[in-house]
Chain A
Amino acid sequence: MTETSRLEGAVGIELGRQTCLTCFQLIDGLEPGYCPRCGERVAARIPEAISRTWAWVITGTLLLYPANKLPVMSVTRLGQTETDSIMGGVFTLYQSGQLAIAILVFVASVVVPGIKLLGLTYLCLTVQYGRNFNPLRVTRLYRLVHLIGRWSLLDLFLISILVALVNLGSIARIEAQSGATAFATVVIVTMFASHSFDPRLIWDRHRKVQADG
């Protein structure tokens, strides 16, 4: 088979079939309704996928500013308080010689949310305006965005562990700060964003572009 023929084939929405995304039952007809097998709501495509994804992506992007600007935690040692932002925490780890951990935290807290927001923006733009793209590659980008998202909560869990562990009165004390709220919200919002996106739209767009010539 050539590369082009692999990209063709019978498509559910064109032959009047829809799929339940919960139990993957194939259902005759394209009217939105409920899955006869599992009872979950079904539609041929996730309703309003692009506008919802945009809404979450824009919310996440706006929250990036407080998430990175505000301190996420403060460390008090013998009466002296230092605050750390996300990048500050990475830098502290780097300075104390923990390069591998610094990279890990940097990837989880900065690179992953960045890739997610940029990736979802690219996905939405491709579905809306894309002309010349490889749908297989775009689908792989979607899978990457979808898979990596949850690892960003690493920093939130780290904060919760440190706060509980280092609570020794005036000797040493770690407290959460408002940036943590913004940061956790960014992660949750990007998770909602990638769940609102429907990768089948990539292939719909591809077919439309091919048909238009």
Chain B
Amino acid sequence: MEIMNRKQIDRLNNIEKEISKIAQEMGLSTTETEFEIVSSRKMIESIAYRFTSNFSHWSFGRDYDKQKTLYEHQGAGIPYETVWNSIPPKAFLVETNPVILNILVMAHVYGHVDFNLENKYMRSAADYMDLAREARNAEKRFREYEREYGLDAYEQTIDSAFSVCWHLPPDLLGDQEDEEAYRERLINLKTERIRGIQKREFHQDKHEIEKLKSEISKLKHKTPPLPVYDILRYVMDHSPKPLEDWQKDILSTIREQTMFFEFQKRCKLLNEGWATYVHLQIMRRLYEKKLITPEEHMEFSSFHAKVTRENPQSLNWYRVGLKLYEDLIYRWNRGMHGKRFRETKDPDKWTTYNRKHNKGIEKIFEVRKNYTDRMAIEEFFDEEFIRDAEIYLWNETVDPQTGEIKQFIAEDDPVRIKQVLKNYFSLYGTPVITIEDGNYNNNRELYLKHEFTGQELNPMMESGALENLYYLWGKPIHLETVEIDRNKFGEPAGIRKLLHSWDGKKHSIEKF
């Protein structure tokens, strides 16, 4: 049985004090942070369940199995860090990890703590800081639901909620107005406009007034009055099924948790990059202060290399995020930005370009304070950066010889990659789908619309998602989406509107 001994824990405590001091010297915000020493099993569980504890569901079990397999295959040391943006922030250290790895994790966590305290976006997620505790309470309530209403209904409800939970309002911080209040406001606006027209002495546009009046009468009955992005919330409030209270509780809990993760998702690159940048600085200082041995420093370097290794199939946030901050330091130290720099077209001159501004550190502190990933990508991912960071897009195709699916680089042109990245990050991977009508066919059927932004939907997943949504709504579901018409070379030649419906028994697709 492995139990970390008191001496080791004392050392971690001393180093933690030092890390906190170094962080403050660097200009980072710090706060009392709880580091809990746990077993690897618990660490893996908390990764799978997203919180130290959460409600029970097979998909968490699946992720637990997956993480465990990964852990067992990679051998010693679990270089994961989990930190919860709560008050006080809390992080896990794995008892069987080498001491140096735990020191690295602490240094890294200090980066996250600063980011979460300082970044505008993360600060506004403060409403969700109690969610870890909420999750623990949800576990107890949900256990009762499972017992009371049976595993099938319990799982179906959660599965269905997970199917659509990422469809949140684009602006997470905006006021979430009640539908009736919103309807009233819209009607008042239009009534005001009619009054405005009627007040005119001339040019009383009768036609316009009639139009506004008919819009008002439609608004009185239309649900939702305007298209809605927040699918779970709309379903929770308006499902004709009707949903039972326990199901509403599940939907609302999952929606809240997703909101919390959505905030993190929108700053993932900047947050992980920042923490990686911070841990590099802190580890160097610890070494200079002789608080870690040369052997430990070597060990740290190899862990760091592992964490920032390039990933052929996905964006390694640690690597690309760190690279972004390093690039910003370099460019802002030399004044390589702004109009004057951009006019220096000759790339040969770039290597020697140096106006000795030394504003690099200032710049990265500003970026970590005011930016989201989307903003950073739009502004700083230029051709050079994308090329330097060796970012590409890949696709899959079936290898006709072996039947295997082959993954290959589909695009290495920085200009087009940037376009795709911008599209992707403007929505953070979730297609835009709105609820257009909650009373379609005058039968309380649900009509959804997919806003085309360049990509079709995966048809297999789409069918399943419609079926799941039907479980929550209890009436036919319709999805308006698109199909790309292709010419004989397989190139896009136009788009065609589709209406995919599921009535609880069969799928039908109408093409326009």
A and B together in one complex: no
Interface residues of B (CB under 8 A from A): none
Interface residues of A (CB under 8 A from B): none
